[in-house]
Amino acid sequence: MGETGHYAVLDQLIADGVTHIFGNPGTVEQGLLDAMMDRPALSYVLTLQESVAIYAADAYARATGGLAVAQIHSSPGLGNAIGALYQAHRGHSPILVFGGDAGIRYQAMDAQMAADLVGMARPVTKWATMVMDPSSLLRVLRRAIKVALTPPCGPVYVCLPQDILDAEAREPVVPTSLPNTRALPDPDLLDRAALALAAAKRPTLYVGDGVARSGAQAALARVAEMLGADVWGVDSGEVNLSYAHPLWRGQTGHMFGSHSLPITSSGDVNLVVGTYMVPEVFPELGSIYAPGATTIHIDLDADAIAKNHPVDIGLLADPKVALEALAGRLEVRLTGDGRSAAGERLAEAAAVKEKAQAQVRATAAGSGGAALTFAQVAAELVPRLPADALVFDEALTNSPALTGFLQPAGPGGFYQTRGGSLGTGLAGGLGLQAAAPGKTVLAVSGDGGAMYVIQALWSAVRHALPIKYVVCNNRSYRLLQANISEFWSERAIAGRGFPIPFDLSTPALDFAQTARSMGVAAARVETAEQIVPAVEAALAHDGPFLLDVVLEADVHPELVGVRCGQ
């Protein structure tokens, strides 16, 4: 008998350039993991819970721009991974997730751990399937890889039953064939789009991570500058335009459509690229654009175009080549007056940007209270980071302070959480460091998110990944406090304290102590004087290091014992 499917799967991954697998082992995957001992080209990053594996793979895919691979256990393991898979699915991360099963021959038995694995995975993946015969093992695997890597990208799930893998491999190993998606739109439609934008008085751009996936950042910046157009991020976590660029205005609302509406209704010609409009939790149900506004949408995701709101010109195309072609047409069609008006808008935007940055600096300098703000920490941390550091941002309510000082400038250095699931920060650091072993990686998390995946710290030590962790410890679900404040405001409710379940102050979460218990060096920062020594110690340390930063908070530990049961 020749080599089994266990080896064939691993050889297929190697043929497709895979070097890392993030996983959590189980009994029905034991043959595959045993075979991996004979394939030293593959590094297995052991995580202690499946969601950590998926979050790490998500970050790895984002940092490398290629395929990430995660291995999970059968039904309980897939159940653990569902929330993280949702995150990857919303963020269009190309992850091949494979999980085990006892075997096809046992499916009639309702055996222990039996479940509809494909049905469980289908809502949170781009494609989900089970290999049903050894003769199609690699065919299915290659199809899954192709689906994951073809825009709009996304995670795929392949169930590998043990009896399929135990059989002799029958197929040759060949690299997966990937289609070229550098598609140009119809020239006549591009001409119409250029004419509309050239005539705009208030052109506005809305961009998502389809821009980064396409490598279209330079083309986007050129179009924005030619038009003097505000650029807003929509459901984005990559650097699609430098945060320091005067035309970058930040993100539209994530939670409430009422927050985004003044933005989306501000332009007379809207250009949407690489995203859809508009993915808040409570989106605006009516029209979001100004009356009479023209909307143009460029995307490789046909579903995203006019998904929720009408567009006038929909272009199914690669963002990079489409924006380059659009820029060429704008060069011809912009009049002298149009160029002058664009220059004036650019100058006004630069003045607004400088004022905003001055406010960020003033906020940090003016924080003189007894409790720390994260602006104080970011003001000292960011200047000490190496220029090529990679940063994963799950700071959530503290993210504006981080990005205000960091000002991410180009692709490949900054990754923000997306999709709504907690726990991406600590686990995401694993993926970034695996993708960039020679660089400094900073992973910033809130305290609530950190507790979702705290075992990720163990994996950093296990695999000698020298990640620098920062936990924003405000002892609360601060985002929920902000959201319920909006809820009360909309309903004219006043005089209420935050619900006790939003309060994490008792018992106290000491992340420095927890980190040390898993072998991670750590420091707890509670005063302004402690910031610089702790930051310098973290960056000088040759292994993983965690800063537990205790921040100002609205918490009431005295009420927890009284009202916790409510």
Please provide the average confidence, as pLDDT, over all residues in the chain.
94
Question: What is d(CA 245, CA 353) in angstroms, rounded to the nearest whole number?
Answer: 8
pLDDT tens column, 275-306: 999 988 889 999 999 999 999 999 999 999 99
User: pLDDT band for position 179 (50/70/90)?
Assistant: very high
Give rounded-to-5 percent helix, strand, coil for the chain.
45, 15, 35
pLDDT, position 256: 87
The full 3-state SS of 281-307, as one line of letters, equals CECCCCCCCCCCCEEEEEECCCCCCCC
Q: How far is CA 104 from CA 2, 107, 131, 160, 162, in A?
A: 21, 5, 9, 10, 8
Give residue for tokens 């981080």.
402
The dihedrals phi and psi of 204, each to the nearest 5 degrees, come to -140, 135
Domains identified in the chain and CATH numbers: 5-166 (3.40.50.970), 187-352 (3.40.50.1220), 366-563 (3.40.50.970)
Question: What is d(CA 206, CA 298) in angstroms, rounded to the nearest whole number?
Answer: 10
Question: What is d(CA 123, CA 128) in angstroms, rounded to the nearest whole number?
Answer: 9
Angle at 74 between CA 69 and CA 77, to 5 degrees: 75
Question: What is d(CA 360, CA 405) in angstroms, rounded to the nearest whole number?
Answer: 7
How long is the chain?
566
pLDDT, position 367: 62
User: pLDDT band for position 420 (50/70/90)?
Assistant: confident
Q: What is the DSSP letter of 277?
A: S
User: pLDDT band for position 553 (50/70/90)?
Assistant: confident
Residue 159 CB neighbours (<10 A):
23
Residue 38 reports pLDDT greater than 80? yes
Question: What is d(CA 470, CA 269) in angstroms, rounded to the nearest whole number?
Answer: 41
Instruction: For residue 103, give both structure tokens.
Output: 């075997």
The stretch 120-147 carries a mean pLDDT of 97
Instruction: For residue 419, give both structure tokens.
Output: 């999709």
Question: What is d(CA 62, CA 416) in angstroms, rounded to the nearest whole number?
Answer: 10
Residue 104 CB neighbours (<10 A):
16
Which contiguous run of DSSP H or E holds residue 315?
A: strand 313-316
